[in-house]
Chain A
């Protein structure tokens, strides 16, 4: 008898184990969070599938108690997100959280993995104190190490992790060619100013930058071409190399002014370069105007007075428009809420060939001003201390867009170039008629750099990464009016500790009373 019981037990256990083993490969995850923050994107899942070897993620994070609430949340979200990565990695991705705060060896290890200790302010015993904390990741794969040194916020964490994994997995980084003007400016001490330092640092986190002056054809391994700040005409070779790069299906992004303007001199002039002739041939035209907007930021005006330079702050200057109107259908700007521009011009959509598809990306507001050639009314006195919404009443202008399709070569009829390709393969050109977007300080307007990265990702064929950049969990603080009220906090605290028990006891007393009454009734009945 007992033998058959044991056999039953074993059979049941085997069935349960088999069901669990099957569930390991045939599973489904339902993300019930508000913003689906734990639903990994397809690009992330695909990246995880490409892992050929064990990948170890060492998360150097200080302990919860040493972190302020928003960073505690960052730590928790990081852990949750890595759990998701691990779930989809078929056992290839392992992670561990390490708190190096009190261990010198671990501190050295973090340093070796390029994870620095960063200073944060936290409140301890009602005093604000500065603490050194760790908030970074090191990724170890096939002898290679990549790191995300600091994670301050949840937004974009999936993007950063996936990008890092892509870097580790791919044999080499994608290359972006950059063609820009080389005008050198110097500071008051005669040192060269690298206006493009932030730009270079931002792009080189994800791509290898290859400087090019287009005097030679671009190599085949270039994933995209970025052009900005051109003020002079190009040589025929340069134009030809650019044209043929596009004809071969290469994608190009241009952050290019049409009109050069300066707030200090309050003057503007049209840039004359044959680059615009080439673009015009493709059906891409920029109007000779400068776009002002009532929704704008301020600026600093430098006025020379004798040997001194006086700097006057301007509260609002319409030609520093703040753009908040974006094309919701365009993937490239889906994660962008606001951009800060300087002296942008308007795209002219009137002569786009039918074979070219145009997608506008951003617009000025309904309080727009078009300062047109040749006068360019950009003088500060026209707008100083005036109600801009009343005086700027023109219709919105399109400031950036994507042109897709088969472009006709600028050299199609030029018999001097025998090897020319007369019509392009499917290609795209992204244009923003403003190069100053790159020079608005990175920390000040993060969105400007997100737009830049989105643009680069799009021309490099990594557009699927864009949706990741804005993803992440939100910080969820308690309502301020409650958090600031000591009495409300006390009431909420004690209500939550005592009320459930009080209600339960009340329920118990009531049901005891009912039971007692019933008992008495029955006793009476059968007496």
Chain B
């Protein structure tokens, strides 16, 4: 646990020493802000579901941009070999980096809290419960995508390739919901269950379903486990 915390802290603070993290976060905040505010008065509706529905699309670019360098940079510079000589296990490296990446995304999510607060001030019949579950959905989705990004980052030395690989995997889970139309009905249920949007949509409308939580935790765990396995293989 000590190693995980140290790696997470080091990685997290290093984000804020370069302007790249700020640029990514500002991009995320401006885009979410725009999608929140643009149709707010046109729709004349006191909730944040429209913007929450759009965030998974922003995540497709935003999260790979954050996670692409988490391990691939270390692979490129050779510091991963240095790390492997220390008494740190692969799963500790992966978990530490995962929390660092997720922490940075949480900073973006934290700054976006201005949107629900705005609704609470200007709206009527505001349903705060849906804000809570919506943000829980954002965090769970971010966890799953960060794990995928981290896995992709472990595969290669090149951050751009890591970005592309993580984007492709995330896009697969993202697009499933929209592709159900083309899938035979006998197996459509399986693909629907695999789709992140299917699970995420429950949360943003105010319902916490244990199936959705287990899905996101499973997805996160599987990709973290695979990332740890890749690192293990590289050590050998």
Contact B45–A1 (Cβ < 8 Å) = no
Query: Is A87 interfacial (CB 8 A cutoff)?
Result: yes
Check B133 against A32 for contact (C-beta < 8 Å): yes
Task: Say if the beta carbon of B57 comes within 8 Å of chain A.
Answer: no
**A29 at interface (Cβ–Cβ under 8 A)?**
yes
CB < 8 Å neighbour of A16 from B122, B133, B222, B232: B222
Rounded to whole angstroms, the CA-CA distance of A118 and B30 in the bound complex is 39
CB interface residues, B 177-230, toward A, < 8 Å: 189, 193, 201-202, 205-211, 214-215, 218, 221-222, 225-226, 229
Q: Mark A238-258, 1 if CB is under 8 A from B, else 0.
A: 000000000000000000000
B218 touches A20 (CB 8 A): yes
Residue on B nearest A494 in the bound complex, by CB: B37
On whether the beta carbons of A33 and B206 are closer than 8 Å, the reply is: yes
Which residue of the partner chain A has the closest CB to B222? A16
Task: Assess whether B29 is interfacial by the CB under 8 Å rule.
Answer: yes
Task: Decide yes or no whether B236 CB sits under 8 A from chain A.
Answer: yes
Q: Which residue of A lies closest to B44 (CB)?
A: A69
> Is residue A152 contacting chain B, with contact meaning CB distance below 8 A?
no
Q: Is B126 an interface residue (CB 8 A)?
A: yes
Contacts of A91 in B (CB 8 A): 189
Which of A5-13, A422-430, A447-455 lies at the interface with chain B? A5-13
Does the CB pair A23–B214 fall under 8 Å?
A: yes
> A33: which B residues are within 8 A, CB to CB?
127, 129-130, 205-207
| A72–B123 touching, CB < 8 Å | no
Q: Cβ of B114 and Cβ of A500 under 8 Å apart?
A: yes
Residues in B with CB closer than 8 Å to A29 are 207-210
Inter-chain contacts of A504 with B (CB < 8 A): 22, 25-26, 29, 107, 111
Verify B33–A501 contact, CB threshold 8 A: yes
Q: Which A residue sits closest to B33, measured CB to CB?
A: A497
In the complex the two chains form, what is the Cα distance from A30 to B33 in whole Å? Answer: 29
Q: For the complex, what is the distance from the CA of A26 to the CA of B210, rounded to whole Å?
A: 9
B125/A32 in contact, CB under 8 A = no
Flag whether A128 is at the interface (Cβ < 8 A).
no
Interface flag for B132 (CB, 8 Å): yes
Residues of B close to A106: CB separation below 8 A: none
**CB closest chain-B residue, reference A496:** B37
Chain A residues near B193: list those with CB within 8 A: 20, 24
Given contacts A27-B211, A477-B124, are A9 and B114 in contact (CB under 8 A)? no
A483 vs B124: C-alpha distance in the bound complex, in angstroms?
12
State A474–B124 Cα separation when bound (angstroms). 10
Is A31 engaged at the interface, CB distance under 8 Å to the other chain?
yes
For the complex formed, measure the closest distance between the CB of A146 and the CB atoms of chain B, giving whole angstroms.
22
B16 CB-CB contact with A under 8 Å? yes
CB distance from A491 to the nearest CB of B (A): 11
User: Are B124 and A489 in contact, CB atoms less than 8 angstroms apart?
Assistant: no
Which of B33, B45, B233 has a CB less than 8 Å from the CB of A2? B233
Q: Total interface residues on A, using CB and 8 Å?
A: 57
By beta carbon, the residue of chain B nearest A34 is: B127
Which chain A residues border B214 with CB–CB below 8 Å? Answer: 19-20, 23
| A509–chain B nearest beta-carbon distance, Å | 10
B6 within 8 A of A: no
- The answer to whether residues A38 and B37 also contact, given A476-B127, A501-B30 and a CB cut-off of 8 A, is no
B102-125 toward A: CB 8 Å interface, digit per residue (1/0)?
000001000110110010001111
Q: Is B40 an interface residue (CB 8 A)?
A: yes
Bound complex: CA A479 to CA B128 (Å): 16
**A492 at the B interface (CB under 8 A):** yes
B47 part of interface (Cβ distance < 8 Å): yes
Could you tell me the distance in whole angstroms from the C-beta of B176 to the nearest C-beta in chain A?
15
Answer yes or no: A511 CB below 8 A from chain B CBs. yes
Q: Which of B19, B114, B123, B130 contacts A478 (CB 8 A)?
A: B123
**Are B125 and A511 in contact, CB atoms less than 8 angstroms apart?**
no
Q: B225 to A12, Cβ gap below 8 A? A: yes
Q: Given A8-B229, A476-B45, A499–B122 Cβ distance below 8 Å?
A: no
Query: Which residues of A sit under 8 angstroms from B215, Cβ to Cβ?
Result: 20, 23
Are the C-beta atoms of A23 and B210 separated by less than 8 Å?
Answer: yes
How many angstroms between the C-alpha atoms of A26 and B19 in the bound complex? 47
Which residue numbers of A lie inside 8 Å of B, CB to CB?
1-2, 5, 8-9, 12-13, 16, 19-20, 23-24, 26-34, 37-38, 69, 72-73, 76, 80, 83-84, 87, 91, 474-479, 482-483, 489, 492-501, 503-505, 508, 511, 515
Provide a sorted-by-A list of 7 A–B residue pairs whose CB atoms are within 8 angstroms: A12-B222, A33-B129, A38-B207, A496-B114, A498-B30, A499-B114, A501-B30
> Beyond A20-B218, A33-B207: 12 further Cβ-contacts under 8 Å?
A16-B218, A19-B218, A23-B210, A23-B211, A24-B211, A27-B209, A29-B208, A32-B133, A87-B209, A496-B36, A501-B25, A501-B26
